Structure 1
Amino acid sequence: MDGTDTDAHASNLRHETMTDVEIIDYCANPPSKAQAAIPLGGFCNKVIPISRQAVVKYGPGVRIEEFTNLQWAYQHLDPSIVRVPRPYRFFQRDRYGYLLMEYLKGTVKRSITDISQTGKVGRAISHFSSFRSHQPGPLGGGGVSRGLLWSEGTTTEYSLCGSIERLEHWFNRRIKHESLSLSFKRCTFVLCHLDIAPRNILWSEEDSLCIVDWASAGFYPRIFEWCLLDIFQGKDGDFQGLVKETMEPLADWEQESSQLIEKAWGNSVRFHYPPTPPPESNVAVWMNAEY
């Protein structure tokens, strides 16, 4: 998955018949040919090939929402525009989650500045935006909103239950300004990946792309995708700026909202906000999204 000859590190095990215990033991003591585990971010999650068909992603930051997000994305996205790994199964043991998924071959490029490639990333994001929901939250329905935008970690406030009020509550209490507030009631909730970065893009030999790491994905205002690109502008060279050039520009009101979202994100990084009860009026129970 990182451009090396990872086939050489794959075993001949069959993920279809391996038990949970066998998978846990394999991850705890991988054979020498599978030692090329790929570290993923600050959660110390890893990816290890099991065979030429499957890898297992495991660690304290691997949660059920990533599995259900991946299921949804695999079932609905057009593979001629963007591929995603097929999810096989998920289970949890103590603090660790284990996600078995398809082993897709490709190269991760540390820097993506080629206009044709950033154009393909932009096309994928546009494709994402064609899928919509009336309610915010993870793609699979229900669950906890996770990822870089929710920088404090998991609290009960992230369980949106499909409620726009809960989403507004999380951001408005972090804006820390009496005369400023966000409203998402005029927003359309579209599929957002929320971690578009070179490290999460695999390029095939044909230069088609596969986007991985769906832990943060969900139905949110399209402004959220813009905000993450803004927040991490320059972290991957010119990548974020080039991708934004391929996206539909924000309207004036969306630009104002994005500034407040980024302000709330910055405050959530600087300060601790103990969980407070979100508004319970009109809190909707998650229903199947209409696409």
Structure 2
Amino acid sequence: MAIVHLLSLLTDLWKRFDDYILDLRLHFGHTITDDAQRRITRIFPNQVVKGPCTQQEVEGTLFAAQHAALHSFTPRIHRIHERRDGRAFIIMEFVEGENLLDVWPRLDDVGRRDVVKQLWRNLQQLRACVQPVSASGVLVGSAISGSEVRDGSYSLDPFGPFWNLEGFNRLQQRNPNLQRFSRFWTPVDKRAASTVFTHGDMALRNVIVRQDGSLCLIDWEAAGWWPEYWEMCKWHFGDWPRLPGWVDLMDEVSGLNV
């Protein structure tokens, strides 16, 4: 019993020390963004800390990190720091490059099409991922456990998970932000019943263009298992500020908005 107590004490002391080191790094680091929900801080030239993060974002980030096919267009994850108070912080690679929101206006039609084609190839690799056993059968749920999710088109409140279309369709029908896509669930479109791993916030601001022209997808807060058409709904919903050509090209190249 004495050994167990000592180990428990040492574990607690280590967690306190680990939290203290994180606090120091957050204090002396360079704040990139800071709002009511989370803060992103650059703590080293090649590392940032984001948090506190929801369980949904932690799972989406870890799920992507577990799949080698996705590593070329996702940030490298160094660790998930779980504080003693239960809050989670993601320590990840700082992706060097320019935000696609800034790059897009400078691209000609050929350049924009090339970017969208590359992005859609990346998304297809996401969509090819197989559900883990822990989330097997869920239609709408978090990436690993199949638990509740959040999405900005609704609110910051969690909902779900959903195992069938009936419950999710009732939720969608109450969402004025998505009524223009109602044809996908009333009558039931075959793509509504098929779930795929989804980034969930595919907007220009969430894509980094690296120096070599490759893309990196950031901000996995809304990632999880969603119906096949959901990614398309979100690039329509997230098109702000509205930029010419983005949504139309994504619809055309993906073939989803038909």
TM-score by length of 2: 0.71
SS of equivalent residue, structure 1 residue 146: strand
What secondary structure is seen at the aligned counterpart in 2 of 1:50? strand
Alignment of 1:126-275 (within 5 A): 126-133=124-131, 134-136=137-139, 137-149=141-153, 151-155=154-158, 158-160=159-161, 162-174=163-175, 183=188, 187-233=193-239, 235-238=241-244, 239-251=246-258
Q: 1:77 to 1:244 in 2, by over 3 A?
A: farther
- Structure 2: tracts of 5 or more residues without a match: 1-16, 132-136, 180-184
RMSD in angstroms over aligned alpha carbons? 3.1
Higher strand share: 2
Q: Post-superposition shift, 1:174?
A: 4.7
Q: Is the 8 A contact 2:194 2:228 kept in 1?
A: yes
2:207–2:215 Cα contact (<8 Å) kept: yes
Verify the 8 A CA contact 1:69 1:139 in the aligned structure 2.
Answer: yes
One-letter amino acid of the structure 1 residue matched with residue 160 of structure 2:
S
Shift of 1:214: 0.7
Counterpart CA distance in 1 for 2:83 and 2:165 is 30
* 1:47 equivalent among 37, 40, 44: 40
2:92 corresponds in structure 1 to: 101
Offset, 1:85:
2.8
Runs of 4+ in 1 over 3 A off after TM superposition: 92-97, 161-166, 172-175, 180-186
Residue type of the partner of 1:145?
A: V
Q: What amino acid does structure 1 have at the position aligned with 2:231?
A: E
Letter aligned with residue 49 of structure 2: V
Distance change in 2, residues 1:170/1:242 (3 Å): same
2:61 & 2:232 partners in 1: Cα distance?
Answer: 21
Q: CA deviation at 1:83?
A: 2.9
Counterpart Cα distance in 2 of 1:44 and 1:152: 13
Q: Report if aligned partners of 1:81, 1:123 keep a CA contact under 8 Å in 2.
A: no
Compare the two structures and name the one with the higher helix fraction: 2
1:74 paired to 2:65: yes
The verdict on how the C-alpha distance between 1:83 and 1:233 changes in structure 2, with shifts beyond 3 A counting, is closer
> 1:203 offset after TM fit, Å?
1.8
Classify 1:173/1:219 alpha carbon distance in 2 versus 1 (closer, same or farther; 3 Å): same
CA distance in 2, matches of 1:85, 1:215: 16
Q: 1:85 matched to which residue of 2?
A: 76
- Name the amino acid aligned to 2:77: R
Change (3 A) 1:232 1:83: closer
Paired residues in the alignment total 221
What whole-Å deviation, never above 9, does each CA across 1:9-45 have from its counterpart, x for those lacking one? xxxxxxxxx7123213432xx22xx33x2216x6452
Contact 1:47 1:57 in 2 (8 A): yes
AA of the residue aligned to 2:216 = C
- For 1:192 and 1:81, the matched residues in 2 are separated by 17
Q: Distance in 2 between matches of 1:184 and 1:90?
A: 41
